[in-house]
Amino acid sequence: MPKDRDTGRSPTSKELRDADRIANLPPTQQKDHPSAVPADPSKLDHINTYGQLPEFYIDRPFSCRQCGKREIWRARDQKWYYEEAKGHIDAVAVECHDCRKAKKAGRSSAYPTHASRDDLGVKGVD
């Protein structure tokens, strides 16, 4: 069986350890890391920020705010989110795939849903 695309959905403890370690490196070392994905500034022109635009994306480990599951927001998924989906640069993944899916699938069913601003499970930092 071909391996599914690695979405960071069910990271092994080693993957999480690696991601944690990389996330704590200084930016100069992150940038040179093989897992870093270069940003395309021309696709980030929807972002109005006084801060600097990212030069690269790096895998970002996080804990789901709903169920506490640890997942990794892959660098290439961040690139897609910011550059193709035109996400806000301060937005970060806060929910795991399962919780997002549950939200999307049945706003009616088992999971009580808060009025969320979008379906990506991404929360803006105001």
Instruction: Decide whether 79 or 103 has the Cβ nearer to Zn ion.
Output: 103
Write down the least CB distance from residue 89 to Zn ion, Å. 24
Write down the least CB distance from residue 104 to Zn ion, Å. 13
Residues that bind Zn ion (CB under 5 A): 64, 66-67, 69, 96, 99
Instruction: Decide whether 39 or 81 has the Cβ nearer to Zn ion.
Output: 81
Instruction: Decide whether 31 or 117 has the Cβ nearer to Zn ion.
Output: 117
Contact at 8 Å (CB) between 16 and 62? no
**Closest residue to Zn ion, based on beta-carbon distance:** 64
Residues with Cβ < 8 Å from 72, sequence gap 6 or more? 8, 11, 15, 16, 19, 59, 60, 61, 62
Report in angstroms the alpha-carbon separations of 74 from 13, 50, 100, 108. Answer: 15, 25, 16, 30
Write down the least CB distance from residue 14 to Zn ion, Å. 21
Overall residue count recorded for the chain in this entry = 126
Instruction: Decide whether 83 or 95 has the Cβ nearer to Zn ion.
Output: 95
Write down the least CB distance from residue 24 to Zn ion, Å. 23
